[in-house]
Amino acid sequence: MTDGQRKKVASSFIAWRFFLVSIVIAAVFVALASRAAYIQILEPDMAIDENNKRTLRVEALHAQRGMIFDRHGKELAVSVPVVSVYADPKALEKSLQQKVLKLAKKQGENIDALQKNSTELAKRSAEIYHNDPRWRELAEVLQSPQNEINDRLRDDLSRRYVYLKRQITPAVANYIDNLNLPGIHLLDESKRYYPAGEVSAHVVGFTNIDGEGIEGIENLFDKALTGADGRRTVRKDAQGREIEVLDERERIEPENITLSIDQRIQGIAYKALKSAVLSFKATSGSAMVVDVKTGEILAMVNSPSFNPNNLADSAPHKRRNRAVTDLFEPGSTVKPLSVLAGLEYGSIAIDEVIDTHPGWMRVGGRLVTDPRNNKEMTLREILKKSSNMGVAKIVQTLPKDYLVRFFQKAGFGEDTGTNMVGESSGLYRPDRRWSDFEIATLSYGYAVSVSTAQLARVYATLGSGGISRPLTILKQEDPMPGERIMQEHNVKAVVQMMESVFEQGGTAPNVKVDGYRVAGKTGTSIKAVAGGYGDEYVGYFAGVGPVSDPRLAVVVMVNEPGGDVYYGGAVSGPAFAEIMSGALRMLNVAPDLETFATLDSESNDG
């Protein structure tokens, strides 16, 4: 290159331009480096959050509610898959506005001006919504009024979550999914189903629509049946592929509950009780079957009942588990206890003869009477004829405190041990001052109120030979721990005396228990009302069987039977016989009587 060319190149170089470009480039790099440093060092959380919004996904691992079984593994409560439909009104409105703007753009309108005119934008969004037939289809398939759906979707556009319908079938959910409606989502859930229906409704209970236990076992063991959901946090790429598992928390599986209930016996008891309540036009009834050797409840039924799969017709009075909540004076069913108290104290002997002449006596200024003058009676005859005079004279030989404590020791005034929802401990106050007349009435089942469950526990104690055990609604591997509260030979003697109830001249001669020797006792009490007693009755029948080796205690209570027939032997006796004989056969208990325990004669009052 010549000197002239070098001078020409040098003269064409402009220094300030070079420096300006260099400064601009340097400034750009400094700005980028500063921004990178700001994002990564000073404020990294914002970038991380934005990245997480695009890539992080949290998947719920749902724990389905545990199952409830009877003692043989028969399902009493199961969870079935269902789907719920919910809406995001805010997302729906955003989708409608986008459609409005898209149509306006096609028609050459000023989009910016339309976006600023919120009134016009809302008006056009509503028009698109109402002109879309898919929303009418949604209302029809959900079987909901169109205006109700419109209110939920359009009244408050700031909401992000509102249910449209809970627990729909998968087929309906699939139809809604195919409608492809904006802002409408499906949520997998489960619904509780009760295969036994009304037969075991009061024991099993039910859940609400959110799966929370409300009554019965569902409520009592709600926490154990629920478990806990798990959670899985993963990172996904733009194609939705899982690339990293960041966190995984295992779900806590719920427990399954196995009840002591034998659904076969439960069905027998419910059928017999329902028939008794309907036949005698009674207000209600309860029945229980208890295994005397273990304390397990094999059946607990009430009538009227309800369908836990459809609560639309289940009034509150139908849902009440009357076997543990409702209290009545037990009447003559406690007379075996009064006889036992005398034997345990030693004031009478097994072969004792009690003079009940003239069939009445005055105690504390008030009368104790029998329907007729039975004169001298053995203990067996006292129970056979259900003599008030007989048991009242027996307890006169006892200290008051002894009798009161004896009844308390038998289980009156305390919970039975089931822990069932709403269980009552009865009305019995042993520490109060008792008059002579109250002690007399206590001997034949007044001045104390008990539940069907409490009476069943007392008779289970008789069946076990004097061992008192708490009752349980759960299946047990070993018998419930018990305490001997009565001498075995005295209990066995009284149990054998109770067989006479089924004989001619007894209070239940027409009750038929095929193939088994059964010890029973009828009971009829007048219902207390404010200020005294009314004109309604409660009929009881309680007993144990078979007498040769007792296995079951059965109690049947019929409340307020209509008509002229109201004695316990007549209204509750047939149900007792059906339940006892059917349950013993279900348990394969060998018959201990070759002939039927049936004698044709008129039933006496109990």
Beta-ladder partners of 79: 192
* Listed range (56-60, 328-332, 441-445, 480-484) with the worst mean pLDDT: 56-60
The predicted model gives 431-452 an average pLDDT of 95
Domains of the chain: 60-258 (3.90.1310.10), 263-306+323-586 (3.40.710.10)
Contact 201, 217 (CB under 8 A): no
pLDDT, tens only, 37-75: 766 666 666 656 666 566 666 666 667 889 999 999 999
Half-sphere exposure of 52 (CA within 13 A, CB side): 9
The predicted model gives 407-421 an average pLDDT of 94
Q: Reply yes or no on whether the pLDDT at 488 is more than 60.
A: yes
pLDDT, tens only, 166-218: 888 888 889 999 999 898 888 888 889 999 999 999 999 999 988 899 999 99
What is the four-CA torsion angle of 423, 428, 431, 435, rounded to 10 degrees?
170
Q: Reply yes or no on whether the pLDDT at 409 is more than 80.
A: yes
Residue 72 is classified by DSSP as T
Residue 41 is classified by DSSP as I
What is the four-CA torsion angle of 583, 586, 590, 595, rounded to 10 degrees?
60
pLDDT, tens only, 531-589: 778 889 999 999 999 999 999 999 999 999 998 899 999 999 999 999 999 999 999 99
Nearest to 428 by CA among 413, 406, 438, 415: 413
The CA distance from 71 to 263, in Å, is 8
Q: Reply yes or no on whether the pLDDT at 596 is more than 60.
A: no
Q: How confident is the model at residue 597 (pLDDT cuts 50, 70, 90)?
A: very low
**pLDDT at position 604, please?**
45
Distances (CA, A) of 567 to 446, 521, 535, 560: 16, 12, 13, 11
Mean pLDDT for the chain overall:
88
**pLDDT at position 600, please?**
38
**pLDDT at position 32, please?**
81
pLDDT, tens only, 269-281: 999 999 999 999 9
Q: pTM (2 decimals)?
A: 0.81
424 as an active site residue: the answer is no
**pLDDT at position 48, please?**
62
The predicted model gives 103-128 an average pLDDT of 82
Q: How confident is the model at residue 439 (pLDDT cuts 50, 70, 90)?
A: very high
Q: How confident is the model at residue 17 (pLDDT cuts 50, 70, 90)?
A: confident
Helix (H) or strand (E) holding 302: strand 297-303
Choice among 79, 286, 303, 332 that is catalytic:
332
31 vs 498, more confident? 498
